[in-house]
Amino acid sequence: MKNIAVIGAGTMGNGIAHTFAQFNYNVQLIDISQNSLDNGIATISRNLDRMVLKEKISESDKNKTLENITTYTSIKEGTKYAGLVIEAATENLDLKLQIFKELDSVCPDDTILASNTSSISITQIAAATQRPDKVIGMHFMNPVPIMKLVEIIRGYSTSKEVTDFTIKLSKKINKTPVEVNDYPGFVANRILMPMINESIETLYNGVAGVQEIDTVMKLGMAHPMGPLQLADFIGLDVCLSILEVMYDGFKNPKYAPCPLLVNMVRAGKYGIKSGEGFYDYSESKKALKIAKQFA
């Protein structure tokens, strides 16, 4: 298998494309927006430039990686020869079901269909296809070229052969695959999101400020990044979406999103990508100053 199609040229999609291309796979990067594709390739190029500066790769390695990526605005054209398709579109169930129905109709019969979803049921996604045995979850971590973990989520009907193949493929691109069962949030977000949500609740209830909460978790718990800064990095809209999936899936109030998180998303304050979240990113993508007084 040398042809890997990636659906979505956003942060996760371009990171996945970068990683496979760097390991000499032919990558078909697909997005309905040509502008998103152009931005995705520009991001990959910048990230490769940083790797060249750090002497992790050579200039020729960079050029070869970029040559391995071809862009498409058509799913049908981009997946024509794909042995594996990895969907990395917005974390929206209806959109994912629509994409997988289309993939099922246009991809070769033996193509494996994977989703980079961070919380949505692989079993539910697979049910939209006529090949549920060939549908699997590959949940990469952000930033994809750097983070080693890939959660491999086996749906109810995913075959052992497809699971074993996906695990082996993940190792070939220098990732550490961890197989998990198909329940809302899987492992990473089932543990992480309640912590982030509780951090927002702590702020919402006036126990401490943004910087104080993040400092406690960084210095007291040895976290490299505070939970509120991490929420900004992930995207507050993404955090809200994952919590809603978990709340709907478990019907447990401990997963109910904090009202402050809901209001911030409604106000368009998503974190780094919108320029403001718990921190102000209008001048820098680093969390240098608090966005406002929350307490």
From CA 51, how far away is CA 45, in angstroms rounded? 10
From CA 282, how far away is CA 193, in angstroms rounded? 26
In terms of Cα–Cα distance, which of 64, 7, 63, 62 is closest to 40?
A: 7
Judging by DSSP bridges, how do beta strands 135-140 and 112-115 pair with one another? parallel
Marked catalytic residue, from 151, 170, 197, 241: 151
From CA 6, how far away is CA 88, in angstroms rounded? 7
Marked catalytic residue, from 139, 170, 241, 276: 139
Amino acid identity of residue 159, one-letter, is: S
Catalytic annotation on 118?
A: yes
Catalytic annotation on 151?
A: yes
The reported pLDDT for the residue numbered 1 is 81
CB contact at 8 A, 182 and 137 = yes
From CA 9, how far away is CA 212, in angstroms rounded? 36
CB contact at 8 A, 240 and 265 = yes
- Please name the fold of domain 189-290: N-(1-d-carboxylethyl)-l-norvaline Dehydrogenase; domain 2 (1.10.1040)
**Parts of the chain with a pLDDT under 70:** 295
The reported pLDDT for the residue numbered 294 is 86
The reported pLDDT for the residue numbered 288 is 86
Name 159's Cβ contacts closer than 8 Å, sequence gap at least 6. 133, 134
In this structure, CATH architecture of domain 3-181: 3-Layer(aba) Sandwich (3.40)
The reported pLDDT for the residue numbered 295 is 67
Catalytic annotation on 87?
A: no
Catalytic annotation on 189?
A: yes
CB contact at 8 A, 193 and 253 = no
The reported pLDDT for the residue numbered 129 is 98
Marked catalytic residue, from 170, 189, 199, 241: 189
Q: Which residues of 225-243 are buried (b: 16+ CB within 10 A; e: fewer)?
A: ebbbbbbbbbbbbbbbbbb
Annotated domain spans of the chain: 3-181, 189-290
